[in-house]
Chain A
Amino acid sequence: MGGREANVVLLDENGIRSDGRKVNETRKVTIKAGVLKNANGSAYIEFGGNKILAGVFGPRDVHPKHMSNPDTGILRVRYHMEPFSVGERKKPAPSRREIEISKVIKEALEPAVMLENFPRTAVDVFLEVLQADGGTRCAALDAASVALADAGIPMRDIVCACAAGKAGDALILDVNNEEDQAGQADMPIGYMPNLGKITLLQLDGVLTPDEYKKCIELGLEGCKQVYEIQKNALREKYFSSSDNN
């Protein structure tokens, strides 16, 4: 999506990034749980310029039937970008990139969900990117786990995700679109904060071994910040009216 722009100043001399953030600052994240009436669970996330809607259905019958597993329920994830989510119209058919992201999000959620008690069923997660601004896979994963919790799917932990990376020779938290295009590295991380386990780790770019370790630490800090926002979204839906008592 676009070539590398050499003339963008990703990090100025005061350590301020192109969108005015500090190196260890995430974009503004807001999450709302339970936004869709017809889905069993849903969530809407705004992660900086990213706007993503997540809907969860199930446990329900598996179609086609041959996909069902008599030992456990299965998780299916569809990540999809709307044609209007990017500057130039994107063809609505699933692209190679979308299929890959669906797969990595599914694999990032699988360690958390416990579908052993629902054999022969499927839990479907639909992720629609309404507006993309870099880091959609992390934002989509955040929304997906809130929607799964909202649907009452048993989970060992909520999966939170945030990217870290390198731009302007400095390690940065929460890579935005420009930093992704023109920066040196992008590392999305999915994390289960209570169990302390990483469920998604990708790296596009070049880092030294030392930078790699620091980058993960930085990313996990971001994940923990997002986790608080995810928890607040669920608390607001389920527990807020009781605070008046």
Chain B
Amino acid sequence: MKKREPKKRYVLPGDFITTAPLRLHGNVVLEGKRIISTTIGLSDISDDSARVISLTGAYIPKIDDLVIGTITTVSGNSWFADINSCYQGMLLGQDVFGRGSYPTATEMRERLNKGDIIFAKIANFDRQREPLISIADKNLGRIDSGELTGISPTRIPRLIGKRGSMIQTIEASTNATLTVGQNGLVVVSCEETNGLLKALAAIRMVDEQAHLVDLTDRVKKMLESDGV
């Protein structure tokens, strides 16, 4: 741990990070000349920027994030989806049926009904309105099968890993397919029960031990062992 200290440190809100003139990258604030942390997490100073990798907190939508949502309302020309955030995702009918089309209520419900799980992209989000989501892209749309599970949204970068290493580890050793939303929801689909259980256990492990250093190795070890 000692040799990592100058770069990555555990910090709490109000903790001093550095006085160097760096770009503020996230979860930090400038007070005078001092950069201080605004959340519980790991401080990370790179060449030109300072940030804190948060260990807690809710999901706040960001443009181009991929999220998993549950349809909660079907209205005349739009759907509303619960995207595990304080804001509801709004999916417009024209995004699905094409511009200038006027789908009937039945057509709307046939395409996506209340309770359906969708994999969507945050198309637009500003301070004024609910985030606009879109399923008009390949790989996006309704998810028909799989096991929906959730972890803290702050753990998602760990679940994906460096260049997707963690996800690849889990998928390779369980034959499962993971659909990961930035909002903390994950759909696991797997033919074999054992693989499914193992994948779920691995996801739970990431959630609980996200702040530890050699997490990929630990998960690998767990997946290689027989018991779940």
Contact = CB atoms under 8 A, between A and B. Distances in A.
A21 interface: no
B10 interface: yes
A30 B1 CA distance: 28
Nearest to B57: A152
Contacts of B12: 149, 158, 231, 234-235
Say which size band chain B's interface belongs to.
20 to 34
B70 interface: no
Interface in A75-116: 112, 114
Contact of B14 (A41, A150, A194, A239): A194
Contacts, number: 92
B209 A241 contact: yes
B13 interface: yes
Interface in B8-30: 10, 12-16, 27, 29
Interface string A189-203: 000111100000000
Interface of A: 40-41, 58-61, 70-71, 112, 114, 117-121, 149-158, 192-195, 231, 234-235, 238-239, 241-242, 245
Given A152-B39, A241-B212, A245-B1, A158 B57 contact: no
B86 A59 contact: yes
A70 B128 contact: yes
B38 interface: yes
Contacts of A157: 13-14, 36
A245 B56 contact: no
B55 A156 contact: no
* Residue with the highest number of chain A CB atoms closer than 10 Å, among B60, B127, B211: B127
A64 to B, nearest CB: 16
Nearest to B56: A152
Contacts of B10: 235, 238-239, 242
Contacts of B86: 58-61, 118, 121
Contacts of A60: 86
Given A152-B40, A152-B154, A156-B36, A117 B14 contact: no
Contacts of B214: 245
A152 B212 contact: no
A114 B38 contact: yes
Contact of A70 (B16, B40, B127): B127
A155 B127 contact: no
A154 B16 contact: no
A40 B58 contact: yes
Interface string B24-65: 000101010000101110000000000000111110100000
A195 B14 contact: yes
B172 interface: no
Contacts of B127: 70-71, 119
Contacts of B211: 238-239, 241-242
Contacts of B58: 40, 58-59, 151-152
A58 to B, nearest CB: 7
B153 to A, nearest CB: 9
A90 to B, nearest CB: 33
Contacts of B13: 112, 149, 154-158
A199 to B, nearest CB: 12
Contact of B60 (A70, A118, A231): A118
Contacts of A234: 12, 40
Given A41-B56, A150-B56, A151-B56, A156 B39 contact: no
7 nearest A-B residue pairs (beta carbon): A152-B57, A157-B14, A152-B56, A155-B13, A194-B14, A154-B38, A59-B86
A203 to B, nearest CB: 26
A154 B27 contact: yes
Contacts of A58: 58, 86
Interface in B204-218: 209, 211-214
A234 B87 CA distance: 28
